Amino acid sequence: MPTIPVDGRRRREVAVLVGVRTGRAPRWAAEDSLEELARLAEAAGASPRVTILQERPAPDARTLIGAGKVEELRNLCREGVDLVIVDEDLSGSQQRNLERELGCKVLDRAGLILDIFAQRAMTREGKLQVELAQLQYLLPRLTRQWSHLERLGGGIGTRGPGETQLESDRRRLRTRMARIRRDLGKVRRHRGLLRRPRRKIPIPTVALVGYTNAGKSSLLNALTRAGVHVADELFSTLDPTLRKVHLPSGRATLLSDTVGFIRKLPPQLVQAFRATLEEVQEADALVHVIDASHPRAGEQRAVVERVLEELGVVGKPVLAVHNKVDRLPEAAAAALAREEGAVAVSALTGRGLDDLRKALDALLKATAIGRPGSRPPVLAEERRQG
C-alpha cells in the first residue's frame, strides 16, 4: 500500500496490526476486534498495511506475542513499517521490550484510542479530560524512560540517577494531573452554573447513546437539523450537543449527542469523560442507537449496555433504535420494527422517524414526573400548595 500524504507535509504512518487470541476465545471475536482496530488506526491517521493474528495458549509475559511473531514483525519493521499496534493491553515493560526488539514504535489499543481522542478534543474541557486520561495511562508505563535515562547517568550514590529521574518524572506527572483536576473543576463549576437554569425548565432530556459510528449524530441531525458533524469514522463526536425536538403530542424534549462507546474502552477515558457523560447520567431517558446493518450489532449493543453500567447509568427507560435499516432486506427491517420497546429507522432516508417521535412521546409520558437531578416531585407539590 503506498503511503498517502495527509496534508502535503506529513505522510501517513504505515502500521502493522497485531491481534492475540489466547485460551478459548472464539477466533471470530479476535478477527472482528482486529477489523475494528484497523478503523481505529485510520481514525488516528495511520495507514494499516498488514494484520497478524497470534494464536497461542497463553500470552508471553515478556513480549505478549511469541518469538516467531516477533521475528516476523522485526522483518516488517525493516521493510518500512513505522508502527506496530497491538490489540491488547501491553504493560510498560512489554511495550519497551517490543520496541527494543522490533526497532519501531509500538502502541496498544488503549494508547491508540487515547491518541484519537487527543486529536479530536475541541473544547477546553475535552482537551483537559483527554490529557488527564493520557497521563493516567502513562504513569504506570513511565519505566520506559527509566532504562534510557539510567544509561545516560553515571550511577553515583545509593540510588541510580535513573531511579531518581523516574521518581522526579512521576512527581512531575502527578503535579500536572493535580493541576488538570483543579482546572477541570473550575470549567465544570462554570458549566454547572450554565446548566442550572436549564434544570428549572420542565423539558425532559433524552440522551443518545450507542456504539461509535452507529449514527447518533446523523439521527440528531435528521430529527432537528442540528448540523452536527457526521463522518464515517470512529469517534467523530467527543463533545456533547443539545438540541430541542418537538414531538407529536406537542411535548418538547432536549436531545443530547455525545461520545460513542467501543469495546475495550480504556478505563482512564471512561473515568476522565465521566463529566462529559453527565448528559447521559442526568437524562430522563435514553435512546440507544444501534447500527442494525453491522454484522456484530448484538455484541455492540451488549458493549454499550456494559459501559452504561460502568458509568452507573442504570434503571433509566431506554428506547432501542435500530438505525441504518435502509441497508437491510425488507423482512429483516420489518422484524426489527416489531421488537418490543424498539423502533427501526434510517437517519439517511428518514424511514421510521415518525415512529421514533411517537415512541419518544410515549417513553416520556411514562417518565413525566420525578426527573432525576431536578427537584423531587414532593417538593414541587409542596410549592404548589404553598
Ligand X SMILES: Nc1nc2c(ncn2[C@@H]2O[C@H](COP(=O)(O)OP(=O)(O)OP(=O)(O)O)[C@@H](O)[C@H]2O)c(=O)[nH]1
What residues make contact with ligand X under the rule CB under 6 A? 210, 212-218, 230-232, 234-237, 260, 323-324, 326-327, 346-348
Half-sphere exposure of 19 (CA within 13 A, CB side): 20
* 204 interacts with, out of ligand X, Mg ion, none, CB within 5 to 8 A per kind: none
CB of 302 to ligand X, least distance (A): 17
Query: Which grid cell sits at 262?
Result: 467501543
Binding footprint of Mg ion on the chain (CB under 5 A)? 217, 236-237
Supply φ then ψ for residue 120, to 5 degrees: -90, -20
* 327 interacts with, out of ligand X, Mg ion, none, CB within 5 to 8 A per kind: ligand X
In the three-class reduction of DSSP (H, G, I as helix; E, B as strand; rest coil), residue 223 is classed as helix
Give the residue with the Cβ less far from ligand X, 125 or 257: 257
Give the residue with the Cβ less far from Mg ion, 225 or 384: 225
CB of 341 to ligand X, least distance (A): 20
* 299 interacts with, out of ligand X, Mg ion, none, CB within 5 to 8 A per kind: none
In the three-class reduction of DSSP (H, G, I as helix; E, B as strand; rest coil), residue 378 is classed as helix
CB of 149 to ligand X, least distance (A): 39
CB of 215 to Mg ion, least distance (A): 8
Which residue type is seen at 86?
A: V
Rounded Cα–Cα distance for residues 89 and 266 (Å):
9
Rounded Cα–Cα distance for residues 90 and 137 (Å):
11
* 340 interacts with, out of Mg ion, ligand X, none, CB within 5 to 8 A per kind: none
Name the residue whose CB lies closest to ligand X: 260
* 126 interacts with, out of Mg ion, ligand X, none, CB within 5 to 8 A per kind: none
CB of 233 to Mg ion, least distance (A): 9
Contact present, 325 and 293 (Cβ < 8 Å): yes
Which residue type is seen at 201?
A: I
Give the residue with the Cβ less far from Mg ion, 18 or 345: 345
Give the residue with the Cβ less far from ligand X, 47 or 217: 217
Give the residue with the Cβ less far from Mg ion, 165 or 236: 236
CB of 262 to ligand X, least distance (A): 8
Give the residue with the Cβ less far from Mg ion, 90 or 214: 214
Supply φ then ψ for residue 21, to 5 degrees: -115, 120
> Please, which residues have CB within 8 angstroms of residue 245's CB and are 6 or more apart in sequence?
223, 224, 252, 253, 254, 255, 357, 360
Rounded Cα–Cα distance for residues 53 and 78 (Å):
20
In the three-class reduction of DSSP (H, G, I as helix; E, B as strand; rest coil), residue 47 is classed as strand
